[in-house]
Each structure stands twice: as structure tokens, then as C-alpha cells.
């Protein structure tokens, strides 16, 4: 079984209101030395044992469904136990 992890992050120029909200809340925890917080999402995909072209398929999933390429970047990494090696980096 191959396990693929897709990380989706807003492009660096794009405002991340969620990250800003967390940054704004940190002083209340007494944490005052954080300069920036960016929040993305991690998606774990498990292919079954017959799966072929795992990297290619993962990219299709990431590009067309998980990420919005207009404002987000993603990375696809294939974890150990699979027949292919990862991570494979940004598009």
C-alpha cells in the first residue's frame, strides 16, 4: 500500500486570514516572539496495492481537487512502504 501526503499552502503573497487570527491570539497565551503564522492543509491518501502511476495520480488529485492553483501551492510526497520514492517536491 502506498501512502501519499499532499500539503497545500496558500501562495506566499496571498493573505492568510486564518494564520493572522492565530498570530493575533498568541500574545494571550503569553507567546510574544512569533513573527508569522501560515496555515495550510495536509491530506493523506492511501492507494490500494494495485495502484499504478501513484505520483501522477496524486498530482491530478492535488491539482484538480485539493488545491486551488490560482492561490495555492501544493507538494506531493510518497511515504515509505511504497514502491516509489519521495518526496517529490513542488510542481
Binding site for other proteins (CB under 8 A): 10-17, 20-21, 24, 68, 70-71, 73, 90
Tell me the three cell numbers of residue 47. 492507494
Residue number with CB closer to other proteins (17 or 81): 17
User: Minimum distance between the CB of residue 61 and other proteins, rounded to whole angstroms?
Assistant: 17
Spatial distance between the Cα atoms of 74 and 58, rounded to a whole number of angstroms? 11
Q: Are 38 and 19 in contact (CB under 8 A)?
A: yes
User: Minimum distance between the CB of residue 24 and other proteins, rounded to whole angstroms?
Assistant: 7
Residue number with CB closer to other proteins (29 or 70): 70
Spatial distance between the Cα atoms of 65 and 46, rounded to a whole number of angstroms? 16
Spatial distance between the Cα atoms of 83 and 76, rounded to a whole number of angstroms? 15
User: Minimum distance between the CB of residue 25 and other proteins, rounded to whole angstroms?
Assistant: 11
Amino acid at each position: 500500500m502506498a501512502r501519499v501526503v499532499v500539503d497545500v499552502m496558500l501562495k506566499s503573497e496571498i493573505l492568510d486570514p486564518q494564520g493572522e487570527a492565530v498570530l493575533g491570539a498568541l500574545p494571550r497565551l503569553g507567546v510574544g516572539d512569533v513573527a508569522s503564522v501560515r496555515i495550510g492543509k495536509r491530506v493523506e491518501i492511501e492507494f490500494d496495492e494495485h495502484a499504478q502511476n501513484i505520483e501522477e495520480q496524486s498530482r491530478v488529485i492535488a491539482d484538480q481537487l485539493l488545491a486551488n492553483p490560482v492561490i495555492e501551492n501544493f507538494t506531493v510526497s510518497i511515504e515509505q512502504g511504497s514502491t516509489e520514492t519521495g518526496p517529490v517536491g513542488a510542481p
